[in-house]
Amino acid sequence: MEGTIEVYTGEEVNVEHIKALGDGGARFDITAEDGRKWRVDLTRDGDTEIVTSWRDGELADLELPEWAGDVTARLARV
């Protein structure tokens, strides 16, 4: 899955597949409308790990928002 997803809050987020991981998972960039961006690894079991995050193009230590679970659950089903 790649492209724009509308989450349950009504926000639209952009999802970009970066690469497949050796353990059967995948790496994705998830970008919110407000300029926050996360690079996450999604394991085959559905676990999510933040690789890095940005706010307005600058590295930042960001937690995943509540709606991120909705996005990663959709990605795990693909």
Q: How confident is the model at residue 10 (pLDDT cuts 50, 70, 90)?
A: very high
pTM of the model: 0.90
How far apart are the C-alpha atoms of 24 and 27, rounded to whole Å? 10
How far apart are the C-alpha atoms of 28 and 1, rounded to whole Å? 10
Mean pLDDT of 6-24: 92
Taking only the tens place, the pLDDT of each residue in 17-76 is: 999 998 889 999 999 999 999 999 999 888 899 999 999 999 999 999 999 999 988 887
Q: At 72, is the secondary structure helix, strand, or coil? A: helix
Q: Which of the 8 DSSP states describes residue 23?
A: T
Angstrom CA distances, 61 to 4, 21, 38, 39, stand at 24, 23, 10, 12
The whole-angstrom distance between residue 6's C-alpha and the CA centroid of its chain comes to 13
